[in-house]
Protein backbone atom coordinates (compact mmCIF):
# COMPACT_ATOMS: atom_id res chain seq x y z
CA UNK A 1 0.00 0.00 0.00
CA UNK A 2 2.86 2.37 0.85
CA UNK A 3 4.30 1.83 -2.61
CA UNK A 4 1.02 2.65 -4.34
CA UNK A 5 0.60 5.81 -2.27
CA UNK A 6 4.17 6.92 -3.00
CA UNK A 7 3.67 6.37 -6.73
CA UNK A 8 0.37 8.23 -6.56
CA UNK A 9 1.99 11.16 -4.74
CA UNK A 10 4.79 11.27 -7.31
CA UNK A 11 2.33 11.23 -10.19
CA UNK A 12 0.60 14.35 -8.84
CA UNK A 13 3.70 16.43 -9.63
CA UNK A 14 3.25 18.18 -12.97
CA UNK A 15 5.12 16.37 -15.73
CA UNK A 16 7.35 19.40 -16.43
CA UNK A 17 8.21 19.85 -12.75
CA UNK A 18 9.14 16.23 -12.23
CA UNK A 19 12.75 15.22 -12.13
CA UNK A 20 13.64 12.30 -14.32
CA UNK A 21 16.78 10.53 -15.28
CA UNK A 22 19.36 11.50 -17.82
CA UNK A 23 21.99 9.77 -19.90
CA UNK A 24 24.56 9.47 -17.06
CA UNK A 25 21.98 7.61 -14.96
CA UNK A 26 21.57 4.97 -17.63
CA UNK A 27 25.31 4.80 -18.36
CA UNK A 28 25.78 4.03 -14.66
CA UNK A 29 23.09 1.32 -14.60
CA UNK A 30 23.64 -0.46 -17.92
CA UNK A 31 26.97 -1.61 -19.33
CA UNK A 32 25.87 -3.37 -22.53
CA UNK A 33 25.78 -0.78 -25.32
CA UNK A 34 22.81 -2.27 -27.17
CA UNK A 35 20.73 -2.58 -24.02
CA UNK A 36 21.79 0.92 -22.99
CA UNK A 37 20.64 2.40 -26.29
CA UNK A 38 17.36 0.46 -26.12
CA UNK A 39 16.66 1.67 -22.56
CA UNK A 40 17.47 5.30 -23.34
CA UNK A 41 15.33 5.32 -26.49
CA UNK A 42 12.39 3.74 -24.67
CA UNK A 43 12.68 6.03 -21.65
CA UNK A 44 12.82 9.26 -23.63
CA UNK A 45 10.11 8.19 -26.06
CA UNK A 46 7.78 7.40 -23.14
CA UNK A 47 8.71 10.69 -21.48
CA UNK A 48 8.01 12.64 -24.66
CA UNK A 49 4.62 11.00 -25.12
CA UNK A 50 3.67 11.78 -21.52
CA UNK A 51 4.81 15.39 -21.90
CA UNK A 52 2.86 15.87 -25.11
CA UNK A 53 -0.25 14.41 -23.53
CA UNK A 54 -0.14 16.11 -20.13
CA UNK A 55 1.68 19.37 -20.80
CA UNK A 56 1.19 20.44 -24.36
CA UNK A 57 -2.14 19.21 -25.60
CA UNK A 58 -4.47 16.40 -24.70
CA UNK A 59 -4.59 15.21 -28.27
CA UNK A 60 -6.40 11.98 -27.40
CA UNK A 61 -9.97 12.03 -26.17
CA UNK A 62 -11.82 9.23 -24.48
CA UNK A 63 -10.75 5.79 -23.36
CA UNK A 64 -10.74 4.34 -26.87
CA UNK A 65 -7.90 6.68 -27.83
CA UNK A 66 -6.22 6.95 -24.47
CA UNK A 67 -5.94 3.20 -23.83
CA UNK A 68 -3.64 2.40 -26.80
CA UNK A 69 -1.39 5.37 -26.07
CA UNK A 70 -1.11 4.44 -22.40
CA UNK A 71 -0.52 0.80 -23.35
CA UNK A 72 2.33 1.87 -25.65
CA UNK A 73 3.92 3.98 -22.90
CA UNK A 74 3.67 1.12 -20.40
CA UNK A 75 5.31 -1.14 -22.98
CA UNK A 76 8.16 1.31 -23.51
CA UNK A 77 8.77 1.64 -19.78
CA UNK A 78 8.66 -2.14 -19.35
CA UNK A 79 11.34 -2.28 -22.06
CA UNK A 80 13.58 -0.11 -19.89
CA UNK A 81 13.11 -2.55 -17.03
CA UNK A 82 13.89 -5.46 -19.36
CA UNK A 83 17.13 -3.79 -20.46
CA UNK A 84 18.21 -3.16 -16.87
CA UNK A 85 17.50 -6.77 -15.85
CA UNK A 86 19.04 -8.29 -18.99
CA UNK A 87 22.22 -6.31 -18.36
CA UNK A 88 22.54 -7.77 -14.86
CA UNK A 89 21.91 -11.40 -15.82
CA UNK A 90 24.27 -13.78 -17.60
CA UNK A 91 23.02 -15.51 -20.76
CA UNK A 92 19.41 -14.34 -20.70
CA UNK A 93 18.76 -15.11 -24.33
CA UNK A 94 15.35 -14.02 -25.46
CA UNK A 95 13.39 -14.30 -22.24
CA UNK A 96 10.11 -12.52 -21.69
CA UNK A 97 9.75 -9.92 -18.95
CA UNK A 98 8.37 -12.63 -16.66
CA UNK A 99 11.36 -14.85 -17.42
CA UNK A 100 13.79 -12.00 -16.74
CA UNK A 101 12.08 -11.20 -13.45
CA UNK A 102 12.19 -14.88 -12.38
CA UNK A 103 15.89 -15.12 -13.23
CA UNK A 104 16.65 -11.80 -11.54
CA UNK A 105 14.84 -12.95 -8.42
CA UNK A 106 16.75 -16.26 -8.35
CA UNK A 107 20.02 -14.43 -8.96
CA UNK A 108 19.48 -11.85 -6.21
CA UNK A 109 19.17 -8.93 -8.61
CA UNK A 110 15.60 -8.33 -7.47
CA UNK A 111 15.10 -8.49 -3.72
CA UNK A 112 11.76 -8.44 -1.94
CA UNK A 113 10.96 -5.06 -0.42
CA UNK A 114 12.89 -3.00 -2.95
CA UNK A 115 11.46 -0.51 -5.38
CA UNK A 116 12.78 -2.69 -8.20
CA UNK A 117 10.65 -5.57 -6.89
CA UNK A 118 7.58 -3.34 -6.74
CA UNK A 119 8.24 -2.00 -10.24
CA UNK A 120 8.74 -5.53 -11.56
CA UNK A 121 5.43 -6.70 -10.10
CA UNK A 122 3.57 -3.70 -11.50
CA UNK A 123 5.09 -3.93 -14.97
CA UNK A 124 4.64 -7.69 -15.23
CA UNK A 125 1.00 -7.43 -14.19
CA UNK A 126 0.29 -4.76 -16.78
CA UNK A 127 2.41 -6.41 -19.48
CA UNK A 128 0.59 -9.72 -19.01
CA UNK A 129 -2.66 -8.02 -19.89
CA UNK A 130 -1.34 -6.17 -22.94
CA UNK A 131 -1.90 -8.87 -25.53
CA UNK A 132 -4.22 -8.98 -28.50
CA UNK A 133 -5.99 -12.08 -27.24
CA UNK A 134 -6.81 -10.43 -23.92
CA UNK A 135 -8.66 -7.37 -25.19
CA UNK A 136 -12.00 -8.95 -24.35
CA UNK A 137 -11.13 -8.89 -20.65
CA UNK A 138 -10.29 -5.19 -20.69
CA UNK A 139 -13.07 -4.53 -18.20
CA UNK A 140 -11.05 -6.34 -15.50
CA UNK A 141 -8.25 -3.78 -15.45
CA UNK A 142 -7.67 -0.24 -16.57
CA UNK A 143 -4.68 1.20 -18.35
CA UNK A 144 -5.06 4.90 -19.00
CA UNK A 145 -2.69 7.85 -19.08
CA UNK A 146 -2.75 8.10 -15.28
CA UNK A 147 -1.54 4.49 -15.04
CA UNK A 148 1.15 5.16 -17.65
CA UNK A 149 2.22 8.26 -15.72
CA UNK A 150 2.37 6.21 -12.50
CA UNK A 151 4.53 3.61 -14.24
CA UNK A 152 6.98 6.36 -15.19
CA UNK A 153 7.07 7.51 -11.56
CA UNK A 154 7.62 3.93 -10.36
CA UNK A 155 10.44 3.42 -12.88
CA UNK A 156 12.14 6.66 -11.85
CA UNK A 157 11.77 5.65 -8.21
CA UNK A 158 13.36 2.23 -8.81
CA UNK A 159 16.19 3.68 -10.93
CA UNK A 160 16.98 6.21 -8.18
CA UNK A 161 17.13 3.42 -5.61
CA UNK A 162 19.47 1.36 -7.82
CA UNK A 163 21.73 4.36 -8.40
CA UNK A 164 21.88 5.07 -4.65
CA UNK A 165 22.69 1.42 -3.92
CA UNK A 166 25.46 1.54 -6.51
CA UNK A 167 26.89 4.69 -4.93
CA UNK A 168 26.83 3.08 -1.49
CA UNK A 169 28.64 0.01 -2.85
CA UNK A 170 31.25 2.21 -4.53
CA UNK A 171 31.77 4.19 -1.34
CA UNK A 172 32.09 1.03 0.74
CA UNK A 173 34.56 -0.50 -1.75
CA UNK A 174 36.70 2.63 -1.86
CA UNK A 175 36.74 2.95 1.94
CA UNK A 176 38.03 -0.61 2.35
CA UNK A 177 40.92 -0.02 -0.01
> Over the stretch 101-120, which tens digit does the pLDDT of each residue have?
999 999 999 999 888 998 89
Asked if the structure places residue 176 within a domain, the reply is no
Expressed as residue numbers, the domain containing 36 is: 2-170
- For the chain, the domain total comes to 1
Distance CA 92, CA 83 (A): 11
pLDDT at 121 over 60: yes
Packed helices 145-176 and 2-11: angle between N→C axes, nearest 10 degrees: 110
pTM: 0.84
Asked if the structure places residue 60 within a domain, the reply is yes
The pLDDT of residue 143 is 79
Residue 63's pLDDT band, with cuts at 50, 70 and 90, is low
CB contact set of 66 (below 8 Å; sequence gap of 6+): 60, 144, 145
Residues 20/156, Cβ–Cβ less than 8 Å: yes
Asked if the structure places residue 177 within a domain, the reply is no
Amino acid sequence: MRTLLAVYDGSLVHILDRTGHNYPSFFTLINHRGLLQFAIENYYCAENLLEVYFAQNRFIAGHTGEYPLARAIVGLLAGVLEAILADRLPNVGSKTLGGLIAEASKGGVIQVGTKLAALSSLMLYLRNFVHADRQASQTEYFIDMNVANGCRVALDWAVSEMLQAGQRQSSAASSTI
